[in-house]
Amino acid sequence: MRFNKLQIAKNVSSNWMMLAVNIVVGIFLAPFILSRLGDAAFGIWVLIFSITGYYGLFDFGIRSSVLRHFSKFLATRNEDALARVVNTSLFSYSCIGIFAFLVTLGLAPFLDHLFHIAPELHATARWLLFMVGGAVALGFPLELTGSVLEGLQRFDIVNFTGIAATIARAALIVLALKRGGGLLTVALITVAAPLLASIVRGILVRRICPVKLGWKYVDRSTFRQMATYSGITFMTIVAGRLKFKTDEIIIGSVMSAAAITYFNIGARIVDYAGLVVLGVAQVFLPMSSHTEAAGNVGGLRRIFVVGNRLCAFVILPICATLIILGRSIIEVWVGKKYIETSYPVLVVMILATTLMWLQGASTRVLFGIGKHATLAVVTLLEGIANVILSILLVRPYGIIGDAMGTAIPLFCSMVFFLPWHMCRRLGMQMSVYLRESYTVPVLLCIPVTLTLWLMRNWFVPHTYWQLAFHLMVAGLVYAAGLAWAFAAKRLTDVSAPASPKSTLEVAQPAVAADSSF
């Protein structure tokens, strides 16, 4: 399979189309739901989805293992191995789905004892948990189709089916709320849409890549092979939940459901920013697997440098925009009353996560080549530190203390571990990596930052149209810089020499492959 600029552009553009739809829908749908349900009910909504988000731990790293091994066996054209990966994963996910549903049944009766939920919302919260938990349980085997499509480099199918589901979900939610529907109606629509999208993806997978199905392809050797990889990945998944999915739970346990809403507004804006970068970063995992299977060490170094450079091109102007215009964004999105509480959360979170997304391709390369054990351990320690600090800081400092509990460990791991580990693993000098990856993105971000700052001093936006004007002017300035970088071949060109020492070990190529881009 050939990796080139056109293929990357196709995958990234479809990712961004999906993200754009999600952001537009979120911008208009979230305040609409909030105004109809109220702070307390909306907080319950966020709380339940945060709790069921922990069901992702039951994945045990299988999804990344499927993507890794499917991409590898696709590169070597091993059809029997592909069948064993898919069938063994499908059986494992089915068992996990049953277990997740049983956990939901056991947790529901104790929900109001664990969290500060208003008495009139006790029954609603239990039904909401039952509904969302059941959908997540069904989603485990169904979501296997998305992993297969990503392994096939068909991000376009994943994204276009997702776009259709998102638009349908938004339209149905608006219609239901206008006709007097409540929280449970909104939840039913929300969980049904992605399940239907997964079914459609399954049908398309059967047409594009008709992998053999049958009990004979479910075997222990494949399970052990995948478990070796996914066991390490599971540590990273646990860490990710501890880092980014405990905040609402901690706040709900110590403070109130309404406080969750104030925290979630700032955190959700930061999440949207991360999703923009993820649209670029996630394409490098299957690329790395293919490149590693072909034995192309130089190609891996190129993916590492160029991938992080592209991530930097995306996250740096977003970070500047959110810091300078964050108050206006919150005001026009959900209202003035949320600014003073939610904006500090936004600033703390975006500064820390920018350091993470500047290196968005780094972790994908490690997962792609199966060298993520050290990363998993460090990330797990980071997640544990996150929970401890958040619990200690949330009582004296409120939701901003919880945000600091997330930001401090993330800052430490992104500055003192990941870049050094990656350069040592791939055999590159730190100075070369920093220069090649970030010099041009930082230079192009300076005029954008100055433009945003000067325009905000000229007038502060208070409406969507005023905010759009600020963003349009800044976007034109940045587009001019990107045009220069493209003309000067500064977007994807790399002149980074390899270090004479490297700890990287890759397999010898089984088939010819080209990983240039």
pLDDT per residue over 407-434, tens digit each? Answer: 999 999 999 999 999 999 888 899 999 9
* pLDDT value, residue 506: 41
Residues 269 and 175 in one domain: no
* pLDDT value, residue 73: 67
Query: Does residue 510 carry a pLDDT above 50?
Result: no
In a domain, 511, yes or no: no
Residue 469 banded pLDDT, cuts 50, 70, 90:
very high
Residues 42 and 170 in one domain: yes
Q: Which of 439, 469, 501 is the last residue of a domain?
A: 439
* pLDDT value, residue 516: 32
Residues 199 and 281 in one domain: no
Residue 448 banded pLDDT, cuts 50, 70, 90:
very high
Residue 229 banded pLDDT, cuts 50, 70, 90:
low
State whether the Cα torsion 264-265-266-268 is positive or negative.
positive
* pLDDT value, residue 346: 94
Q: 426 and 496 in contact (C-beta within 8 Å)?
A: no
In a domain, 499, yes or no: no
Position with higher pLDDT, 228 vs 504: 228
Distance separating alpha carbons of residues 1 and 511, to the nearest angstrom: 10
**What domain range is 399 assigned to?**
246-439
Please provide the average confidence, as pLDDT, over all residues in the chain. Answer: 79
Residues 158 and 263 in one domain: no
Residue 3 banded pLDDT, cuts 50, 70, 90:
very low
Distance separating alpha carbons of residues 327 and 339, to the nearest angstrom: 6
Instruction: Among 57-61, 77-81, 237-241, 326-330, name the one with the lowest average pLDDT.
Output: 57-61
Position with higher pLDDT, 158 vs 494: 158
Burial (Cβ within 10 Å: 0-12, 13-18, ≥19) of residue 201: buried
* pLDDT value, residue 284: 82
* pLDDT value, residue 274: 87
In a domain, 132, yes or no: yes
Distance separating alpha carbons of residues 361 and 305, to the nearest angstrom: 8
Neighbours of 64 (CB within 10 A): 24
**Percent of the chain having pLDDT more than 90?**
22
Query: Does residue 1 carry a pLDDT above 60?
Result: no
Provide mean pLDDT across the span 199-222.
Answer: 77
**Percent of the chain having pLDDT more than 70?**
81
Residues 216 and 266 in one domain: no
Residue 348 banded pLDDT, cuts 50, 70, 90:
very high
In a domain, 236, yes or no: no
Query: Does residue 61 carry a pLDDT above 70?
Result: no
* pLDDT value, residue 508: 36
Q: Name the CA radius of gyration of the chain, rounded.
A: 23
* pLDDT value, residue 54: 63
Q: Where are the beta strands (DSSP E) in 143-277?
A: none
Residues 212 and 281 in one domain: no
Query: Does residue 459 carry a pLDDT above 60?
Result: yes
Query: Does residue 474 carry a pLDDT above 90?
Result: yes
Closest CA to 97 of 198, 26, 238: 198
Q: Tens of pLDDT along 397-407?
A: 888 998 999 99
Q: 136 and 96 in contact (C-beta within 8 Å)?
A: no
* pLDDT value, residue 121: 67
What the block records as the tokens of 139 is 């989603």
What the block records as the tokens of 442 is 């930082």
Q: 346 and 269 in contact (C-beta within 8 Å)?
A: yes
Provide mean pLDDT across the span 283-294.
Answer: 75
* pLDDT value, residue 517: 35
Query: Does residue 185 carry a pLDDT above 70?
Result: yes
Report angle CA 298, 302, 307 to the nearest 5 degrees: 155
Q: How many domains does the chain have?
A: 2
- DSSP notation for 116-156: ---GGGHHHHHHHHHHHHHHHHHHHHHTHHHHHHHHTT-HH
Helix intervals (H) in 38-121: 39-53, 62-75, 79-107, 111-114
Q: 330 and 460 in contact (C-beta within 8 Å)?
A: no
What the block records as the tokens of 211 is 């992998």
Q: Tens of pLDDT along 113-139?
A: 666 666 766 777 778 777 787 888 887
Residues 359 and 395 in one domain: yes
Distance separating alpha carbons of residues 424 and 201, to the nearest angstrom: 39
Residues 199 and 285 in one domain: no
Residues 99 and 169 in one domain: yes
* pLDDT value, residue 513: 32
Q: Which amino acid is at 392?
A: L
* pLDDT value, residue 322: 95
Closest CA to 267 of 179, 345, 191, 333: 345
Provide mean pLDDT across the span 295-304.
Answer: 82
In a domain, 460, yes or no: no
Report the DSSP beta bridge partners of residue 514.
Answer: 2
Residues 88 and 201 in one domain: yes
Residues 362 and 425 in one domain: yes
pTM comes to 0.67
In a domain, 237, yes or no: no
Length reported for the chain: 517
Q: 6 and 516 in contact (C-beta within 8 Å)?
A: no
Distance separating alpha carbons of residues 23 and 18, to the nearest angstrom: 9
Provide mean pLDDT across the span 143-150.
Answer: 75
Q: Which of 193, 227, 261 is the last residue of a domain?
A: 227
Residue 147 banded pLDDT, cuts 50, 70, 90:
confident
In a domain, 300, yes or no: yes
Query: Does residue 308 carry a pLDDT above 90?
Result: yes
Q: Which of 439, 454, 469 is the last residue of a domain?
A: 439
Provide mean pLDDT across the span 488-504.
Answer: 58
In a domain, 209, yes or no: yes
Residues 37 and 124 in one domain: yes
CA distances from 78 to 67, 150, 296, 380, 438 (A): 15, 17, 19, 34, 39
State whether the Cα torsion 387-388-394-400 is positive or negative.
negative
